[in-house]
A and B are shown apart, each in its own frame.
Chain A
Amino acid sequence: MNDVIIILATLATTGRVLGLTLLSIVTGWLLAYQAIGSKVFENIYISVIEVFESVPVISFFPVVLLIFVTGVGGPIGTELATDFLVFTAVVWNIWVAAYQAFKTLPREMLEVVENYKFGFWGKMRNVYIPFSLPRIAANLFPSIADAFFYITVSEVFSVGTKQYSAFGIGTLITQFIQEENWGDIAFSLTVLAIVVALVMVGLREYSKYVVARYTVDTDAPIIRRGRINFRQSSRLSSVVSRNPLSKLSRYYPHVRRRRSEKEEEENPKNISKYVWIAFGSVLLILLLYGTVKVVTSTPLSLWHSLMMDTPEVLLDLGYDYVRVGIIVLISLLFSVTLGYALAVYHKLEAVMIPIIQVFSAFPSPAYFPLLFLATSPFIYAAFGPFANELYVLGLGFISTFYYVFYSFWMGVKAMPSEYWELMKNLNLNFFQKMRNIILPATFPYLISGISSTVNSAWGGLAIGEFWTDIIAGKNLYVSHGLMKLIAVATNNGNIALAAWASLIFGIVVVVYSILFTRKMMDLARKKYVAEEGLFAA
């Protein structure tokens, strides 16, 4: 009987992930269309994406718990909370991809459909949607992998002593682990592995089909090895995609604005501009009102308590940044070595890439307890008090290394073939190649991958830093860590502290993104675009 339920739960989880991905795509198209038509909406839209894409999904928890579980309540509230968490894992890359595609639609294509007086659906169906498909397809893999990663935490969560769960394989695995029901755990993981592998194979085939059918040869970048432009390469390039958003809105002002201006001339009653200004203003007023209301309705004693907790929050954040730094460093070393080997040895690449794709989409929180059970006697004996740290770092690594790995691998694949010939010709050794050519040439990809890894590593830490009853009655706790602090506060029902810590965390992440990632990306675009090393008239 359990077997049937496990299969149904796996299908339910997969359906949830794919359904919300589809919702992201459809909403992405509609919002992108609005964004290219209204400057006001575009600015709001871009700012929202920029902020929310930088903030890890985990920081949405307190808000979600508040709104859905205590607000809506019941099974519907739990289901909505789960859906919202999965949605936030998949949506940003896809929205960015749709917006970028709509924004960079070749003017000639737009002029053709305008020439024939196509309306909204005509333009969407014939030009905008087909043109956006390759970019969206490139973003599907990391988005869906991200969504699967969060199934155990998004389907089961607790506030205080009360646990909430939505029907899905994440819930079942958590339940089986608590019951130490090894047979069902093994069966669940097997079914999940098969389904994830099938989804990944399906995505690969879909991507191939979409690229073959819908990719437009426009300004033909000089990329001979591999077909992926780093600007178009997924969450892998979330930074590359994210940071130029504002610039994009200035670089490509022609697309629909020209038409809008024309329409305005022809139709003075066109009020869309004013509608969006009004919408933006209302949104801003609501935001200000909400902020003022929260600040004034919070008792002074609570503010005092939160202020007293702030140094600890910052210290714990510091601990987590050190952990994230270590995870990134290890991921980088691993990825550079493996990525180079795969790019050079094509037979190895053909075998390894599908394996890594399936492995990275297979949710590590689901199988990590088993890994913990199998290794903990040795690891605790060998590393003593550092064993917990090792596990947390390990979970962070297996959850996120593939962002750097894929970015680097794609960067190496996109290097001009002339660079490879030159490296062979000059007889450079491995380190000379790496230092002088490969690392600089892949710098934009690496920054993009590092940024994604940093953002995603928080998810691993959030799960690993405070894992009560991970398996067989054992706990995995670290001494300090912001993710632990948030988890403990949420579990104790101290939503105020959890929300306060999340807010500080969100601000720091956005500031980090602005100060570090963007600067690095600007440097990458200015100096390290390998394609610009080729001069072809």
Chain B
Amino acid sequence: MDVAFTYDNGYKVFEDVSLTADENKFVAIIGPSGVGKSTLLRILGGFLKPFAGEVKLLGRTITRPTPKIALVHQSIVTFPWMTALENVMLAMKPKRIPKEEALKTAKKALELVGLSGFENLYPKEMSGGMRQRVAIARALAAEPLVLLMDEPFSHLDELTAEGLRHEIYNILFAEESPLKSVIMVSHNLTEVVELADVVYVLNGSPAKVVGKIEIDIPRPRNPQNQKFNEYLDTFYNLLTPIKVRKRE
């Protein structure tokens, strides 16, 4: 609510940014490079303290990182000395649950992301797409309520990214998934229209929310669809540099 962030040197990145992620909603945040999308995501996760405003999860203020809000990084993060299964089991270490139970949960999470049979592979032996699935499985194994995704497909090749995008919504909102909502930052407008229920557009300096668009297209969404393209046009207009728009 009314979140603002300022660098140590006084540069105001954004101000008065308010957004809501309702239950079972896939929320996307878009904006030009350098507008502070990733910073905003880290504020939502409690990794950074806002200069002003606060973040609330189910009414409780978030002041530091919590497993209830899981972050999936842009650079796909796995630990090379752990197998896929061990990478996922790491999420359950703080819970001190019995090993058997942790093993079961980790296998279930890997199954959910389509990596059954690959449990004993090390990250080096996997493709980028598989590694990102491991990272998502690890995030889900912590049983978060909210998943934050920072451009999760940007380091994958186009075909792999498209494949994972097609599956991700069903994975995240599957019955077995503990998630209540997902917040994703992205540059890729097609990806956003394909996945999001609600899109917040950040622009300006300091950045503000210049648009909140609800995407009302049935799933699975087809990029050839006319409405799909109308949403894309809307976003392009909102993302046009503010100064240029003023001159127009």
**Distance in Å from the Cβ of A537 to the closest Cβ of chain B?**
4
A208 part of interface (Cβ distance < 8 Å) = no
- Cα distance A422–B70 in the bound complex, in angstroms: 9
- Cα distance A527–B83 in the bound complex, in angstroms: 11
- Cα distance A432–B68 in the bound complex, in angstroms: 19
**CB-defined interface of A413-426 with B at 8 Å, one 1/0 digit per residue?**
00010110110111
Cβ B80 vs Cβ A222 within 8 A? no
A45 part of interface (Cβ distance < 8 Å) = no
Q: Kindly list chain A residues whose C-beta atoms are within 8 Å of the C-beta of B45.
A: 425
Cβ B94 vs Cβ A429 within 8 A? yes
Cβ A535 vs Cβ B93 within 8 A? no
Q: Kindly list chain B residues whose C-beta atoms are within 8 Å of the C-beta of A418.
A: 73, 75, 77
Q: Kindly list chain B residues whose C-beta atoms are within 8 Å of the C-beta of A271.
A: none
**CB-defined interface of A210-253 with B at 8 Å, one 1/0 digit per residue?**
00000000000010000000000000000000000000000000
**Distance in Å from the Cβ of B65 to the closest Cβ of chain A?**
4
Provided the pairs A426-B93, A426-B142, A537-B155 are in contact, do residues A440 and B81 lie with their beta carbons within 8 angstroms? yes
Cβ A419 vs Cβ B81 within 8 A? no
B90 part of interface (Cβ distance < 8 Å) = yes
**CB-defined interface of A130-165 with B at 8 Å, one 1/0 digit per residue?**
000000000000000000000000000000000000
Cβ B77 vs Cβ A537 within 8 A? no
- Cα distance A429–B93 in the bound complex, in angstroms: 9
**CB-defined interface of A437-448 with B at 8 Å, one 1/0 digit per residue?**
100110100000
**Distance in Å from the Cβ of B15 to the closest Cβ of chain A?**
24
Cβ B73 vs Cβ A421 within 8 A? yes
Cβ B81 vs Cβ A527 within 8 A? yes
- Cα distance A534–B75 in the bound complex, in angstroms: 6
Cβ B47 vs Cβ A426 within 8 A? no
Residue of A nearest to B66 (CB): A427
A529 part of interface (Cβ distance < 8 Å) = yes
Q: Kindly list chain A residues whose C-beta atoms are within 8 Å of the C-beta of B91.
A: 426
- Cα distance A421–B91 in the bound complex, in angstroms: 13
Number of A-B contacts (CB under 8 A): 88
Contact of A535 among B65, B69, B131, B142 (CB under 8 A): B131
A440, A443, A535 interface centre (most CB from chain B within 10 Å): A535
Cβ B77 vs Cβ A534 within 8 A? yes
- Cα distance A429–B132 in the bound complex, in angstroms: 25
Residue of B nearest to A423 (CB): B65
B213 part of interface (Cβ distance < 8 Å) = no
- Cα distance A424–B79 in the bound complex, in angstroms: 15
Near A by CB (< 8 A), chain B positions 57-83 give 64-67, 69-71, 73-82
Residue of B nearest to A527 (CB): B81
**Distance in Å from the Cβ of A404 to the closest Cβ of chain B?**
20
Cβ A530 vs Cβ B131 within 8 A? no
Cβ A424 vs Cβ B47 within 8 A? yes
Residues of B in contact, count (CB < 8 Å): 35
Q: Kindly list chain A residues whose C-beta atoms are within 8 Å of the C-beta of B93.
A: 426, 428, 432, 436
- Cα distance A359–B75 in the bound complex, in angstroms: 39
- Cα distance A416–B77 in the bound complex, in angstroms: 9
Cβ B94 vs Cβ A534 within 8 A? no
B221 part of interface (Cβ distance < 8 Å) = no
A536 part of interface (Cβ distance < 8 Å) = yes
B65, B78, B79, B94 interface centre (most CB from chain A within 10 Å): B79
- Cα distance A536–B155 in the bound complex, in angstroms: 5
Residue of B nearest to A425 (CB): B65
Residue of B nearest to A529 (CB): B80
A533 part of interface (Cβ distance < 8 Å) = yes
Cβ B94 vs Cβ A537 within 8 A? no
- Cα distance A537–B131 in the bound complex, in angstroms: 12
Contact of B128 among A440, A443, A532, A537 (CB under 8 A): A537
Residue of A nearest to B78 (CB): A533
**Distance in Å from the Cβ of B113 to the closest Cβ of chain A?**
15
Cβ A421 vs Cβ B71 within 8 A? yes
Near B by CB (< 8 A), chain A positions 499-519 give none
Provided the pairs A222-B75, A424-B47, A535-B75 are in contact, do residues A528 and B81 lie with their beta carbons within 8 angstroms? yes
Residue of A nearest to B92 (CB): A426
**Distance in Å from the Cβ of A430 to the closest Cβ of chain B?**
12
Cβ B77 vs Cβ A422 within 8 A? yes
**Distance in Å from the Cβ of B139 to the closest Cβ of chain A?**
8
- Cα distance A129–B239 in the bound complex, in angstroms: 48
**CB-defined interface of A101-117 with B at 8 Å, one 1/0 digit per residue?**
00000000000000000
Listed in ascending order, the chain B residues whose CB lies under 8 Å from chain A are 42, 45, 47, 64-67, 69-71, 73-82, 90-91, 93-94, 122-124, 128, 131-132, 142, 154-157
Additional A-B contact list (14), CB under 8 Å, known A422-B73, A425-B71: A222-B75, A418-B77, A421-B47, A421-B65, A424-B64, A425-B45, A425-B70, A426-B90, A428-B94, A532-B123, A535-B75, A535-B128, A535-B131, A537-B128
Listed in ascending order, the chain A residues whose CB lies under 8 Å from chain B are 222, 416, 418-419, 421-422, 424-429, 432, 436-437, 440-441, 443, 527-530, 532-537
The 4 closest A-B pairs by CB, nearest first: A535-B76, A424-B65, A537-B155, A534-B75
Q: List 18 A-B contacts (CB under 8 A).
A: A418-B75, A422-B73, A425-B45, A425-B67, A425-B71, A425-B142, A426-B67, A426-B91, A427-B66, A429-B94, A436-B82, A436-B93, A440-B81, A532-B123, A534-B76, A534-B77, A535-B132, A536-B76
